[in-house]
Structures are given as C-alpha cells and as structure tokens.
Chain A
Amino acid sequence: AQSVTQLDSQVPVFEEAPVELRCNYSSSVSVYLFWYVQYPNQGLQLLLKYLSGSTLVKGINGFEAEFNKSQTSFHLRKPSVHISDTAEYFCAVSFSGNTPLVFGKGTRLSVIA
C-alpha cells in the first residue's frame, strides 16, 4: 500500500541549531514530493517540492530537502532554526497519475529560545 510516514511527531530544538524532519514513503511508482508548513490557526503553505531533476531541493525560509530514491525518503533540513519556525510540518506525496495527495501525520517543530 502507498503510504507516507513522518517518523517524529514532535521535534524540540534550540534556536540557531540545525534540524532535520524525516519523511519516508512506500511506493514502487514515480512520486512527486512536497513539504508544507502550517502555523497556528492558518492554512498550509508550500515550503518546497520535488517533481524531477536535482535531488536537492531548496525552498522558502532557508529550508531544503533531499530526495533519496533508494531509501524512499524526502527529509527536510534547515541549518539554523529561528523561533518563527515553530509550526507543524507536513510531508505529502502524490503517487503516480492523478491520485489524491497523501499526507504524513505531521511533525510539530518547537524552537526553544
């Protein structure tokens, strides 16, 4: 079955420290990969996406992610986090064709001053 797993439900990190939020998916077909961020009481904002090409993708707010086909992963990274990065982060995958987007359960990033 096609699924998306975000391994950590909560990640606390100190301000200016690096962070990695993990996302794995299970699929034998081509995928499109997305990371969205949701601040409290707001909608989802697209951080970055992988459709094809370079496996290292740069997004907004200093975030980047790397597509690893052999490990079926799309981990999100930031070298130095800010208090304002505190939010819920969702990994989402579109499995081949015009199929609905599948979301992971989300990771709550809490940046501590």
Chain B
Amino acid sequence: GESVGLHLPTLSVQEGDNSIINCAYSNSASDYFIWYKQESGKGPQFIIDIRSNMDKRQGQRVTVLLNKTVKHLSLQIAATQPGDSAVYFCAENAGGTSYGKLTFGQGTILTVHP
C-alpha cells in the first residue's frame, strides 16, 4: 500500500525578517536539546544546543528557548537570510552516558524569500 509521509510544517519569511521555529518534545526526562539544520543533499548540521538547567541560550543570530513546563523548544533566527533556507530539526537526548542517541522531531521547512 501507499506509505504516508510526514507532512512537515513550513515557514515562509522574507529576507531580513526574524524567524521562529517551534518544537514540542515528548520525554520529560530529556536533559539535552539540540537544533539541527539540514540542506538538500546534506547531513544535519549542528546549530545550537541547550541543557535542561537553562531556559535560554544565544548564539550568532540564533537563540534557543526551552520551556520545560510545557515541553516546548523554539529556535529564533534573527535577520533571516536566503542561505538559512533548509529543514530544521529539534532533537532531544535523555542523558545518561550516551549522547549519540537522539530523538528527532519531524522537522520544519524554512523558506526565505529574497
């Protein structure tokens, strides 16, 4: 039979706008969260991470916000550029001794129009 594919959320913005990508995570025991960017034909690329003992972390043009109460993660991209167009994934890790095991969200397609 025909397989049902994921219907990824999409976000379309104009160049220079700020973008906010949201993610709901599932495991309340997760203590480490990461945002990845994946361009067509490439592997995921690390953007920024945050530990569960923090609620905000800033990088270059990016900010990650963590709300553990509602298990929500967001990625804010300032002054979005066409080169930011990609699929963005949040990922969570339940900690312990193994940080190579991540649970990924479904992804959000970001399209930046010049």
Asked whether A and B interact, the reply is no
Interface residues of A (CB under 8 A from B): none
Interface residues of B (CB under 8 A from A): none
